[in-house]
Amino acid sequence: MDPVSAGLARLFGAAPTGMRRLHGGDLSQVWTVRLADGRDVVAKDGPLVIREARMLEAMAAAGAPVPRVLAAEKTLLVLEHLPETRPSGAAWHALGAGLARLHATTASDYGWPVDYAFGDVAIPNARRGDWVAFWAENRLLAGRAALPAGLVHRLEGLARRLPELIPAAPPAALLHGDLWSGNALFTDGAAYLIDPACYHGDAEVDLAMLELFATPPEAFYAAYGWPQGDWATRRAVYQLWPALVHLRLFGPGYTGMVEDRLARLGA
C-alpha cells in the first residue's frame, strides 16, 4: 500500500477504494478519495501541508468559507470533499461576502509566523510594521537573485516609488494570498477558498490576484465592495509579484505579463 493510502487507512479506519488525481498546484499532490466506508475526502501530500492546515484553520476562525480540515500530519492533509459546480451569480456573491469576512480579521503588523513557498519560489513572510517595506522586500525584491540584472534594476527603481503608489498603512487584513479564480471552489450557490498562502497585508492584494487572469462578475463586488481611488495603479503593483512568481516557475512565457505591469507603472 502506498504511503498516502496507508495514512488514510490508519487515520480513518477505512482504506481507499478509489483515488482520482486532481490538479494540485506547485506544492502538493491532490486526490479525491473514496474510502471503504463510503466517505469521500480530499487528500493532499506535500512538504508544507501542516502549514496549509494552520492557514485553513485561521481562515475558518475568521468566518471565511473553507473546507474543513479532517486530519493533518507530517506530509498528509485530509480535507472534507465539496461537490464542485459551475459558478453562479449567487455563488460569486457568496465568495465576495466570504472574502469580506476574511479581510475583516486584522493583525497589528504585516506578514505571517512562518514562511511559505510556491514550488521552488520561496515566500518570505517575516513580520514588518511597514507595509511599503514589506511589499518591497518580502515580495517584489525577495527573488532578485534569481532574476536578470536588468529586471532587478527596474524593480529596485519601482520599489523606491512605492510610497507614491500604494497605501502606507492599510489594515493588516488576513489574506488568502493566492486568490486566483482556480482557488475558489464553487458549489451550488456557495463558494469556498482553497489552497491558501496566508499572511496579513493590504486586502487589495487578494482582489488584484483575483483579477490577474479574469474579472469577477458584478455579483462578487456587490457583496465585497468596489475598490476606490486609483485602483488601476494599485492593481498593477500587486499583480506584479504573482507575475514574477509565474516567470520564475514557468519561464519566459510570462515575460509579457511582467513587462505589462512594469509598463503600466512607468518602470
Could you tell me the residue ranges of all domains in the chain?
A: 3-80, 89-264
Q: CA–CA distance from 259 to each of 10, 14, 182, 236, 250 (Å)? A: 50, 51, 24, 11, 15
Tell me what the mean pLDDT of segment 163-174 comes to: 98
Instruction: Look at residue 1 in the predicted model and tell me its pLDDT.
Output: 72
Instruction: Look at residue 118 in the predicted model and tell me its pLDDT.
Output: 92
Report the predicted TM-score, pTM, of the whole model to 2 decimal places. 0.94
CB 59 within 8 A of CB 176: yes
In the chain, % of residues over pLDDT 90? 89
CB 138 within 8 A of CB 111: yes
- CA-wise closest residue to 98 among 194, 182, 23: 194
- What is the phi/psi pair of residue 73, to 5°? -155, 135
Q: Which CATH topology does 89-264 take?
A: Aminoglycoside 3'-phosphotransferase; Chain: A, domain 2 (3.90.1200)
Tell me what the mean pLDDT of segment 105-114 comes to: 98
Tell me what the mean pLDDT of segment 89-104 comes to: 97
CATH superfamily membership of 3-80 = Phosphorylase Kinase; domain 1 (3.30.200.20)
Same fold, 3-80 and 89-264: no
Q: What is the set of active-site residues? A: 178
Q: Does the structure show a pLDDT above 90 at 189?
A: no
- What is the phi/psi pair of residue 254, to 5°? -105, 10
Q: Is 210 left (phi over 0), alpha (psi -120 to 50) or beta?
A: alpha
Instruction: Look at residue 256 in the predicted model and tell me its pLDDT.
Output: 97
